[in-house]
Each structure stands twice: as structure tokens, then as C-alpha cells.
A and B are shown apart, each in its own frame.
Chain A
Amino acid sequence: MGFAMTNNWLEKNTFHYSAFSDLNRLVEEKQKKNLKISLCLPTLNEEKTIAKEIIILKSELMTRYPLIDELIVIDSGSTDNTVKIAGAFGADVYIANEILPHLEQFKGKGENLWKALYITQGDIIVYIDADIKNIHHRFAYGLIGPLLLDDQIKYTKAFYDRPISIGKNKIRPTGGGRVTELVIRPLFSLFFPELTQIIQPLSGEYAGFREIFDKIPFPIGYGVETSMILDIYEKWGLDVIAQVDLDRRIHRNQDTKALGRMSFAILKTFLNRQKRSGLIDLKEALFDEIIQYNLVENAYQPVAQKIKGLERPPMITIPEYCEKFDVSN
């Protein structure tokens, strides 16, 4: 069975950040539409990069151009100086466990993103990973641009030319995206060929309207990016999604085993979603441990790690949220 790409989404909804570099125009549009924009940086031990992200984003998009109304850091319990440094450079810092404290506590990026919905005030929320070494304000305004200038677009996703840092001092010009090419794209090709047009579904930077984010569930850990795309696609269709080329992003390179754990979480999220929507039928429940092997003194030793694939329900189902934002489920 083959799939013909019928619509021209890739052409129509793919942008380059430079199309939005007129920041005065974006500010004007934001004010005209009476919107507030919040920027959230989820952190866990990011002392090496967090200050730079805060300073540059704040300088360019708050002090010089009032495009962003608040910049918050939500921390998962860093043991380094992340929280201290972020506060010193003027971000509003929150500890994830202290937000909605009566709920069961989880640790993960998705948890921080979900709780950001409760903490932030903005109509548009921009999520940017805190480990970007070559941070530039284009990472934020590139994602905000289509949301302000095109009324149909409700969610924007970054993609990059992805050099990764290798060794101490050298950059490899291309690389990264292994989980995308080995896991996500084959899965999308099998189930949702239309979604293969999203060049980097796992990129950690995205932005969207609150009214979208508060109606979808958030997996606690790695699965959050995949799940977000699947849910938005299912509820509102591909045309509300746009992708923006943000040029280069330099970040930490992860080893294959870490990518294996990431793939496990993504596969689990994906299969559970498919099961729930009736697209596939699983005779038995999936296991929740990834088993990897180490060679120790000529013997293979298994190392199992639980990845439960927990997720938070849509924020709009949380009464405190509904009360705070005066919305109802």
C-alpha cells in the first residue's frame, strides 16, 4: 500500500526563521492581537548553558523588543548550580515538585512542560531546551513568528541543520537525529505517512497556543514530543502545525544506550496511543523495562531500567487550572 502526499503542507507550512526577523512587526502584531507570550526553559543540571540562554533571550526579546512577557525556568531538582544561576540572571525559577504539590510527583521534561501551563500567564507558550550551546534569540522568535502572522497556525516546531559537539573542541558538521531516522520516521511512515513531512519531530523547541497545549496529555519523559504531534494532528489536523528552520543547534551528543532508552519511551508512547485509538490491537500489556547489556570482565550483564511511560492528563482537566484561568473542561 502506498501513500500519495496530497496536500502541499511541507511547502506551505515550512518556514525559515529569517522570515520573522523583523521583531518590530512581531511586537506590533502581538499587541494588536492583545496576546501575552511566555517562554519556558525546562532544566535538570544545565549550569553550563542556562545563564547564556536567559541573558540572550531576555536581552533581545524582553529588554530590547517586548516580544516575550515572561521567562520562566522549571527545574526538575538540579544538583548543580542551575537554580542559583538562573535566579541570578533574572529568570523566574520554579521547582517542579512545588507546583501543584498535592498531585503525585514525577520527574521528567514532560512534567515540567505540563506544569509550565499552570505557572505561566501567556496565551502563547514557547518551550526551549536549556542545553543549547549556540543559543540565539532566533530560536524563540522563529517559533513565535508563524503563530502571530498566520491565524491558521497554532503550533510550531523547530528543525535544524544539526552539528553536534564531539570531543573537546571540534564540531562535526552533520549528525544527530538518529532516533528520528531509525524510530520515528519508520513509525510515521507505517501509520501516518503525512507526518513524515515533519523534518525533526523530536526537536526540543516548540511553541503553541495555550488553548492547544491545555487540551492534550503530556507524557512525563521522553515521549512528550511524539505524543504532542500525534495528539495535535489527531484533534486539529496537520494544517495547524508549522515547522521552522532555525539553522544550527549545537547540543550535547548522547550515547547509543541513552538513545535506546529514549527510543523505548517513544515506542511505548506511540504504541499505547495507537492501542487507545483502536489502530492496533495488543494481546498483552507492554513491559515497562528496557534491558540493555554491559560487558563486565568478559561476561554480559543485563541492566534493566523502568520506563513506565506515565503521562499527565490534559491540564484543562485539573480543577486548579480551570479556576486560575477561568476555563472549563
Chain B
Amino acid sequence: MNEFLKILPNLVEDIKAAQDIIITNIVLIGQTPAPTFKEKRRSTIFMERLAEFGVDEVTTDGYRNPIGIIRGTAPDKPPIFVVSHLDTFFDRDIVHNFTISENRITGPGILDNSLGVGVMVSLPILFKKLNLRFESDIVLAGTIQSIGKGNLRGVRHLLKTWPTPIRAGVCLEGVELGRLNYFSDGMIRGEIQCNVTETKGTFYQFTPNAILVLNEVINEIMNLRLSQRPRSRIVIGKIAGGADYGKMAYSADLGFEIRSDSYKMVKSIYNKFRDIVEGISHENEVELSIKTISNLKAARLKFNHPLVKNAAAVLETLGIKPISKSTESALSIFLSHKIPTVTLGITYGENSYTDKATMEIEPMFKGIAQIIGVLKAIDSGVCDDE
């Protein structure tokens, strides 16, 4: 592995020489809309491109996650997975045409995660150009139904039904170059909905206002005491309600996230939320409900896990400073299956969740070199004894 680290920085220029193909993949994939639950068109392009690049096997799993398999040289070695989620936050009727300037590409969904998918699709042709072979099969999976209400269903199904052991995984995200995620917090995302019927309640003189009811819910949540250990956090991330300035609000919704090092703590806080909701619902005689949108169990590799150490060494060899923090993504599903996995970012960018999302082109080549470096480290057996 050390030998490969020595030549790794030289690969950056060779990767850059294929920039036309890499950018074309990012653009052709990114310009095909893929809102969660409607990823079919992007999935078709994903498979077409892999087939054109001569990938040994291109197929879908039982859940319609598109997959390409590059056969390795040692059939007895378990496969290495590279995954990137196909779905984006943008609806189909949003114009998905990307603009390329000298060193930037702009377009909706490019950072999360058309860039990741486009780079993943480019790996087979880069392996050929760089004359790289792997002992393990490399499984390239574009997972569907990941974000929001998708609740990572695609990757959950992929790993649950995969028939063989998996050697290790690498999850790709567009930004930021330098991220080296190897742990994920426990997390529940949910919604609290308040609906008021127009008939008056008996307790109050006036019809309750759904927004004010939710306000009361927020106040109660803010009164909760959160533990320092396990570290926990509540985010009130979304709120919507009412119809007009002078009209009583008959409905309102609140979106929240609870995170903690411990999933047990997340569930305990969620139960407190439920008690609050039941109490306020009863006292105000309003319809107040709470439901879970998505959840993740906390999972982690240790910092001294060989995959983490070797991935950090790859980044540092390329002059990239590794930054580690929790991520709520496919990583946690891999880790919960006891598959050593890291998440890597590919380049720098800004305005992630707007239609002006912009990525920088030049740092991407280092970002791709780091992916290849980490795959080579895994293939050399750094995780095999763990």
C-alpha cells in the first residue's frame, strides 16, 4: 500500500486528462431529474453509461437499485462497494440544465449528489485509463430512495439482500473535499401535525389556533433537559401552517430531528416528544399527531480502525486535511451491517440546496484520486483482519 501512496499524487494529472468524460458523466446524469421515488430515468442513464464503459455486469437489485460490477482478479475475495445516492431534492419540472464556466459547474442537485454519481460512473473508464486492477469485485451502486421520506430504503434493501459478505464500503458525496466520515449519530426525523376542526372545543372559549398550539409544543420541547453524555441535540428544522394574515390557522406542521451518540437516548427524547404531543392535544382538544419520517441507529468505526487510518493517510498524501464529523447517510446502514465504511467528499462547492448549486472542477481530480487510493487500500487488505 505504501508503494501505491507514493504514486498516488501523480495520478491526479492522469485523472484530469479524462476531464471531458468525467464532466460529461456528471452533466448527463445531473441533467436527468431524479426526485426521491422517481429515480427511474436517472437509473436508466446510470446503467447505460456503465454498460457503454464495458463494466462486466450491469443490473438492478430486487429493489431496482442500479448496480455495475467490475470483476476482480481474485474470485474468493469479498466485493468492495462504492455507493452514491441517485435521488436529489429537486422536482422534475425544475430545469436541470447545468452551466459550465472555466472552473465551475452550476446546476440544481449537482452537489447532492449528481457529482457523486457522475464520478462513480466514471470510475470504470478511469480504472482502464490508469491501468488499475483490483482483487475484489468493485460494486458500483446508485441507491434510490435515500433522502427525506426515502429514509435510505434503497441502500437498506441492497445490503439486507446482498448474498455474500462485503469487504468494505466507500460512500461518495459531492462536498466537501476532506470529509472523512466514519461514524453516524443515532437520529430520528419526524413531523408533528396539528389540525383544528372548525367546531369549538369545550375547554377554550375560542377555537384554538394550530400555529399557537405548535408554538406551545415548541416551548415544551425547549424546556426538555438534554444530557451532556450521551451527547444529544434537537433541531426544529421546518415549520409551516395557516392560510392568510387575518385567518385562524386550522393546520400547522413542524419538522424536527433528534440526534445523539446513543440511539437509546434518541428514542427516550422521542418518547418525551410524544408525551408532550399527547398532553397538549388533550388540553387543547385539538388533533395533534407525531410521526417518524426516518431514523438511523448510531454506529461508528473507531478512529484507529485501519480503514480510517489508511483513508486519512491517503488524504494527507494528496495534501487534503481530513475532517471528521457525524453523517446521516448510507454510511450508518453499512456500519450497522458491520461493514467497515467511510464517506468521502469529492470537491468544494456552495449553495448546495439551491438551483445555483456550484462545484469547483479543479479540486475534483484530487477528490477522485483519494477515492482510488482508499479503494486500493481496502483491496490491499487493510480491513481484512478486523
Residues of A within 8 A of B (CB): 47-49, 51-52, 55-56, 58-60, 63-64, 81, 84-85, 88-90, 133-134, 136, 165, 168-171, 250
Contact = CB atoms under 8 A, between A and B. Distances in A.
B20 interface: yes
A169 B100 CA distance: 17
B27 A52 contact: yes
Given A49-B99, A55-B100, A88-B102, A169 B24 contact: no
B323 interface: no
Contacts of A48: 99
B93 A170 contact: yes
B222 interface: no
B23 A55 contact: yes
Given A55-B23, A169-B355, A133 B97 contact: yes
A47 B19 CA distance: 19
B98 interface: yes
19 contacts: A48-B99, A51-B101, A52-B27, A52-B98, A55-B19, A55-B27, A56-B20, A56-B24, A56-B27, A58-B20, A60-B24, A85-B102, A89-B100, A134-B31, A134-B97, A168-B355, A169-B95, A170-B93, A170-B94
B21 A63 contact: yes
Interface in B167-192: none
B221 interface: no
Contact of B100 (A52, A59, A64): A52
Given A52-B27, A169-B355, A171-B93, A90 B20 contact: yes
Nearest to A62: B20
Nearest to A65: B52
A55 B20 contact: yes
Contacts of A51: 100-102
Contacts of B94: 169-170
B97 A63 contact: no
Interface in B42-68: 52
Query: Chain B: interface residue count, which band?
Result: 20 to 34
Interface in B18-35: 18-21, 23-24, 27-28, 31
With a 10 A CB-CB cut-off, give which of B21, B31, B95 has the most chain A CB atoms. Answer: B95
A119 B24 CA distance: 27
Interface in B273-317: none
A175 to B, nearest CB: 14
B102 A250 contact: no
B102 A59 contact: no
Nearest to A136: B28
Q: What 5 A-B pairs are tightest by C-beta distance, nearest first?
A: A59-B20, A51-B100, A59-B24, A133-B97, A59-B21
Contacts of A85: 101-102
Contacts of A168: 355
A79 to B, nearest CB: 16
Given A134-B31, A171-B93, A59 B99 contact: no
Nearest to A134: B97
B141 to A, nearest CB: 24
A171 B97 CA distance: 11
A160 B21 CA distance: 26
Contacts of A171: 93, 95
Contacts of A89: 20, 100
Contacts of A136: 28
Contacts of A88: 102
Contacts of B21: 59, 63-64
B101 A55 contact: no
Contacts of A81: 101-102
Contacts of B20: 55-56, 58-59, 63, 89-90
A165 B95 contact: yes
B28 A56 contact: yes
A280 B100 CA distance: 49
Nearest to B355: A169
A96 to B, nearest CB: 23
B100 A250 contact: no
Chain A CB within 10 A, most for which of B19, B23, B97, B355: B97
B117 to A, nearest CB: 17
Interface in B332-364: 355
A182 to B, nearest CB: 27
Nearest to B53: A64
A192 to B, nearest CB: 36
A15 to B, nearest CB: 21
Contacts of A60: 24
Contacts of A49: 99
A248 B27 CA distance: 16
Interface in B67-112: 93-95, 97-102
A90 B100 CA distance: 14
B295 to A, nearest CB: 33
A107 to B, nearest CB: 25
Most A Cβ at <10 Å: residue of B18, B100, B101: B100
B143 to A, nearest CB: 25
A171 B52 CA distance: 30
Given A49-B99, A55-B23, A59-B20, 7 more contacts: A51-B101, A52-B98, A55-B100, A58-B20, A63-B21, A85-B102, A165-B95
Given A59-B20, A59-B21, A169-B355, A84 B102 contact: yes
A88 B102 CA distance: 7
B106 to A, nearest CB: 10
Nearest to A250: B97
A133 B31 CA distance: 10
A66 to B, nearest CB: 14
Nearest to B97: A133
